[in-house]
């Protein structure tokens, strides 16, 4: 059984007991969160598709930890002008584990 769910503005294909990294969520580590924007549920070949979301469907998850992602370097340069700019960015992430898919 899997579901396609909208979490923090991004769509993820999730299954039970799966751990994924998403954009930072509100809530403390160890807290339960519930996502109601379920777009699709597949239960052993029986597919339910929402228009745009399924009513009475939800995905519950547990926040395992909050962290920062790897550093991404942004380098800007204009040739022959002497312009160089280096910038770095680390995205704030949350690691969650999917507990149950309710369809």
pLDDT of 103 reads 82
Kindly compute the dihedral angle of the four CA atoms of residues 58, 13, 48, 35, in this order, to the nearest 10 degrees: 10
Q: Which residues pair with 71 in a beta bridge?
A: 90
Kindly compute the dihedral angle of the four CA atoms of residues 20, 22, 91, 29, in this order, to the nearest 10 degrees: -80
pTM: 0.83
Integer angstrom CA distances of residue 82 from 75, 76, 85, 86:
13, 11, 10, 13
Task: Give the phi and the psi of residue 98 in degrees, each rounded to 5.
Answer: -80, 125
For the stretch 56-80, pLDDT in tens is 999 999 999 999 999 999 999 999 9
């Amino acid at each position: 059984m899997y579901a396609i769910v909208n979490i923090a503005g991004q769509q993820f294909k999730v299954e039970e007991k799966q751990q994924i990294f998403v954009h930072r969520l509100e809530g403390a580590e160890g807290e339960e969160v519930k996502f109601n924007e379920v777009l699709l549920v597949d239960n052993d070949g029986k597919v339910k598709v929402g228009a745009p979301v399924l009513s009475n469907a939800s995905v519950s998850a547990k926040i395992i930890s909050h962290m920062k992602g790897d550093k991404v370097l942004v380098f800007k340069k204009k040739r022959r002008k002497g312009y160089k700019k280096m910038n770095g960015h680390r995205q704030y992430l949350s690691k969650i584990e999917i507990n149950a898919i309710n369809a």
